[in-house]
Every structure is written in structure tokens, then in C-alpha cells.
């Protein structure tokens, strides 16, 4: 197992002579780029990664693909000498151009979720390691294609679920792993985004989309990864009328219900509520709450109110929020004077870079395939372990699509290891096969 001497995996000082180098490409430079990728690449430019398994490793962002290139240009201009080394490519065809442009080792994809698949396929087909934002893809058939490409071309294909890095969720998993909390029975999660997300930030691509795919996946993965089990049934409801018309296919809020079964034949059901129409003057950036009930206990987590309440005249709760998440990707002045962004959002990307460096530089060339296999076995981020999450997303999207085309109240049964998805339609005796 890999270990880093620094908690966030960078060298302690900028003077360590790097012995290895990774070149990275970035696709998409929107909100999540600003929050997590930019701080990661900025930090990596100041300090190489460090891991006893491969030593020190430089990570350079050398190519960016985006729709218009405006942010890329601003970023290049503010990045000094590094900026002049970066190439920027714009649509149409930004990803093939990026892949042709130079010798990147890995590519991160942070485009809107319905554009992940095309970009991922190109990256893996070009034989580059891949890191894609959640949800990885929207259909099982797409996931299967990406997994075979990764396998065929001997590269990693990984997805970012940074909530698994949240210290509270790590503790939950530890209590479950140690059987201090025994057998989950049911639970709820909610993640409510502000209106500014649907009205401004995502207005270019929001048509036909829903907040469930965008954020429920965080909790689908948390449930799937923490409690295990087999996904069995997916129910889903939603509301319309604010972001788009009442009878349209763009959703304001979504309530997803998942039922799992476990090896002992007992079941658990989870409700996940999401929205992107919460008022902008809400006291936190997003409302994030979970409750899981076990045979012998209850876990109640509020990731927004973690104990800090801030008031600044004329600034909270709009410019700055009243309840802050200081664990995700926040700017701090460290006790030793250094200013930097830190948090689990950035840690998830750094960890992926460590995995790539370990595959490429963590031992003899002849043993690369063993190292690749070991990194693929990490179920927290490998695409091969994302089946049930993608099955839940595909089922949710199919139920919402049926509702928006006049057939509400459908549900999906998941068979085997998410091998078959069957959509049950009220009044019809035979289900529609979504995936087989």
C-alpha cells in the first residue's frame, strides 16, 4: 500500500530534486477546476509529489481543452513561465487536439456530465491514464466500453468521488469495517445546491439535466462503497417548473430511493434528496446531511454545520457563507506563514497522481503490469468498481425521462452484478430492458 511522508502527498519543501515527471492534460475549466484542480496543479508546480515508493515526481499541466479557452488564457497569463509552456485548445475538437499536441501521461476530465463519455473514450484510446469527475458516465454500456479500453491499453481509468476522502465519511467506514456499527437498515442523504448553480453556472448545459445525476452520485458511491451489498431496485421522483417548464425534461429537484440486499438476505433502503434551486442566501454553500440507521446505532452527519458559524457585516451569507465547510478545498494561511488551498477535494486528485506515478515509476519496468493491477483493484476510484453507481444513474435518468414524456411512476429492477436493468412501467406487464 502506498504511503506519503506528507499528509497531502507533496514534498515538504520545494528544494527536493525531482527524479520523475508526469505531464498532465485538463479537459474543462469550470467551477470544479477552480475549486480543486487548479489548486492541485498550482501546488504541484511548487512542490513535487513525494512517495517512498517512487521518490519525488514533478507534475506539470501542459495542455488544456475547453469550450471557449477564456479561462485557460487567463490561467496561462497568471502562471508565469509555466503558463508559456501550456497549450490551450478549444471546441470543436479540443480533446483530439490536446491528445495530438504532446506527450501527456494523464488527462483529467471535468466537463458537464453528459460530455464525459466522448472525452474519456478518446483519452483511453490514446493510451493515457484517465481521471474523470463524477458521475463517470451515464450508461452501463459506456462504462463497459471505457473499462475494456483501459484494460486493452494498460492504463488507469479512475473517477473522483471526493466525499470518500471526507474525514467524517472515512470514520463512518471505519466504524462499519470494525463492526462497531452493524448492518445498515436504512438512511437518508440530502445535498441542496443554490439557485445560482442552475441559473448561472450551469445555464449553458442544464437543459434536459437533473440535480440527481449531478450530486446524488456522491452519496450513491458513499453508500455503495461503505456498506457494500447488491443494488436491487431504483425508484425516483422529481419536481419541475423553476429551471424549466413544468412538463419539460429539466428538473429542479430529485428524490431517489435505492434498495440494496446483503449476503444475509436482509435489505436496506436509502433516500437521496437533491436540488439546485435552494435560495442563494441560504447560510451554507450547499446543504449536506446524512443519517444512517444500523441494527445497533445511528450515524447523523451534517457536513455543512461542522461547528463554525461566521458573521461578517454586509458579506455573510451571500459573498461568504455563514456555515463553512473548511475541509473540502479551502484557502488557509498555514501556521508557518504559507498560503495554500487544502482539503479532501484536492487530496482526491493528488492521490490519483500518486497512483499514476506508482504505476510508471514505482519499480522495475517489467513489474509495471503488477503495479497497474494493484492500482486497478482500488475500488474507491476505479471505473471497474463503478457499476452499481452508474446503474443507479442510468435507472434514475430513465425514470425521469419516462416521467417527462408522460409516463410517471416507473421503477427499475437491477439484476445480477448490475448486468441487467429493467424499467417497469405502470400498466404494462413486460418491463423495458434498459441494459442487458
Ligand X SMILES: NC(=O)c1ccc[n+]([C@@H]2O[C@H](COP(=O)([O-])OP(=O)(O)OC[C@H]3O[C@@H](n4cnc5c(N)ncnc54)[C@H](O)[C@@H]3O)[C@@H](O)[C@H]2O)c1
CB of 264 to ligand X, least distance (A): 33
110 binds ligand X (CB under 6 A): yes
Report d(CA 317, CA 332) in Å as an integer: 20
User: Which window, 28-36, 42-50, 177-185, 373-381, contacts ligand X (CB under 6 A)?
Assistant: 28-36
Q: Tell me if 351 contacts ligand X by CB under 6 A.
A: no
Kindly tell me which of 111 and 250 has the beta carbon lying closer to ligand X: 111
Nearer to ligand X, 68 or 281 (CB): 68
Answer for the pair 254, 209: CB distance below 8 angstroms, yes or no: no
Q: Which is nearer to ligand X, 91 or 280 (CB)?
A: 91
What residues between 77 and 96 interact with ligand X by CB under 6 A? 91, 94
- Residue 55 vs 345, nearer CB to ligand X: 345
User: Distance between CA 278 and CA 159 in Å, rounded?
Assistant: 27
CA torsion angle for 173, 179, 180, 185 (degrees, to 10)? 80
Pick the binder of ligand X from 139, 162, 354, 387 (CB under 6 A): 162
SS3 for 356-413 is: HHHHHHCCCHHHHHHHHHHHHCCCCCEHHHCHHHHHHHHHHHHHHHHHHCCCCCCEEE
Name every residue whose Cβ is closer than 8 Å to that of residue 314 and which is 6 or more positions away in sequence: none
Instruction: Please choose, out of 107-115, 226-234, 354-362, 389-397, the segment that lies near ligand X by the rule CB under 6 A.
Output: 107-115
Interface residue with ligand X, options 24, 59, 63, 65 (CB under 6 A) = 65
- How far is it, in rounded angstroms, from Cα 156 to Cα 383? 9
220 binds ligand X (CB under 6 A): no
Binding-site member from 160, 254, 268, 286 for ligand X (CB under 6 A): 160
b/e burial code for range 303-317 (CB count within 10 A of at least 16 → b): bbbeeeeeeeeeebb
Q: Is 67 in the site for ligand X (CB under 6 A)?
A: yes
The helix (H) or strand (E) run that includes residue 261 is strand 253-261
Closest CA to 348 of 191, 224, 218, 223: 218
Q: How far is the CB of 154 from ligand X (least distance, A)?
A: 25
Q: Looking at residues 33 to 52 of the shown chain, list those that interact with ligand X (rule: CB under 6 A).
A: 33
Binding pattern to ligand X, positions 116-145, x when CB under 6 A?
-----------------xx-----------
- Return d(Cα 268, Cα 84) in angstroms, integer: 54
Cell 454586509 appears where? 314
Tell me the pairing of strands 432-435 and 420-424: antiparallel
Q: Which residue is nearest to ligand X (CB)?
A: 30
The Cα 68–Cα 99 span in angstroms is 18
Size of the site for ligand X (CB under 6 A): 25
Residue nearer to ligand X on the CB measure, 268 or 349 = 349
What is the binding site for ligand X (CB under 6 A)?
27-33, 65-68, 91, 94, 110-113, 115, 133-134, 160, 162, 201-202, 214
Amino acid at each position: 500500500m502506498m504511503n506519503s511522508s506528507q499528509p497531502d502527498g507533496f514534498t515538504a519543501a520545494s528544494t527536493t530534486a525531482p527524479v520523475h515527471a508526469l505531464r498532465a492534460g485538463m479537459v474543462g475549466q469550470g467551477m470544479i477546476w477552480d475549486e480543486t484542480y487548479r489548486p492541485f496543479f498550482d501546488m504541484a508546480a511548487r512542490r513535487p509529489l513525494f512517495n517512498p515508493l517512487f521518490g519525488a515526481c514533478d507534475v506539470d499541466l501542459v495542455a488544456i481543452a475547453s469550450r471557449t479557452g477564456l479561462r485557460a488564457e487567463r490561467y496561462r497569463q497568471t502562471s508565469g513561465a509555466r503558463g508559456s509552456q501550456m497549450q490551450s485548445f478549444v471546441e470543436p475538437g479540443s480533446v483530439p487536439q490536446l491528445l495530438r499536441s504532446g506527450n501527456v501521461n494523464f488527462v483529467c476530465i471535468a466537463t458537464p456530465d453528459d460530455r464525459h463519455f466522448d472525452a474519456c473514450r478518446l483519452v483511453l484510446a490514446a493510451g493515457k491514464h484517465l481521471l474523470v469527475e463524477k458521475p463517470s458516465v451515464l450508461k452501463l454500456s459506456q462504462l463497459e466500453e471505457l473499462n475494456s479500453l483501459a484494460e486493452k491499453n494498460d492504463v488507469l481509468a479512475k473517477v473522483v468521488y471526493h466525499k470518500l476522502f471526507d474525514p467524517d465519511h472515512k470514520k463512518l467506514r471505519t466504524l462499519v469495517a470494525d463492526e462497531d456499527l452493524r448492518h445498515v437498515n436504512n438512511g437518508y442523504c440530502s445535498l441542496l445546491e443554490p439557485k445560482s448553480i442552475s441559473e448561472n453556472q450551469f445555464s449553458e448545459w442544464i437543459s434536459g439535466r437533473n440535480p440527481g445525476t449531478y450530486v446524488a452520485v456522491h452519496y450513491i458511491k458513499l453508500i455503495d462503497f461503505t456498506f457494500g451489498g447488491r443494488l436491487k431496485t431504483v425508484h425516483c421522483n422529481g419536481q419541475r417548473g423553476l429551471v424549466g417548464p413544468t412538463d419539460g425534461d429539466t428538473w429542479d429537484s430529485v428524490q431517489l430511493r435505492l434498495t440494496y440486499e446483503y449476503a444475509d438476505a436482509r435489505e436496506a433502503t436509502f433516500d437521496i434528496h437533491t436540488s439546485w434551486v435552494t435560495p442563494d442566501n441560504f447560510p451554507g454553500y450547499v446543504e449536506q446531511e446524512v443519517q444512517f440507521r444500523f441494527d445497533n446505532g445511528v450515524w447523523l452527519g451534517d457536513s455543512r454545520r461542522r461547528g463554525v458559524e461566521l458573521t461578517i457585516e454586509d458579506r455573510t451569507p451571500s459573498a461568504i457563507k455563514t456555515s463553512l465547510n473548511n475541509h473540502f478545498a479551502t484557502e488557509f494561511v498555514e501556521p508557518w506563514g504559507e498560503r495554500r488551498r487544502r482539503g479532501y477535494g484536492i487530496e482526491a486528485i493528488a492521490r490519483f497522481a500518486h497512483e499514476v506515478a506508482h504505476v510508471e515509476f514505482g519499480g522495475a519496468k517489467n513489474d509495471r503490469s503488477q503495479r497497474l493491477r494493484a492500482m486497478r483493484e482500488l475500488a474507491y476510484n476505479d471505473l471497474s468498481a463503478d457499476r452499481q453507481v452508474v446503474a443507479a444513474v442510468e435507472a434514475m435518468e430513465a425514470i425521469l425521462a419516462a416521467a417527462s414524456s408522460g409516463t410517471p411512476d416507473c421503477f427499475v429492477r437491477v439484476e445480477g452484478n448490475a448486468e441487467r436493468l429493467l424499467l417497469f412501467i405502470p400498466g404494462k406487464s413486460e418491463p423495458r430492458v434498459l441494459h442487458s
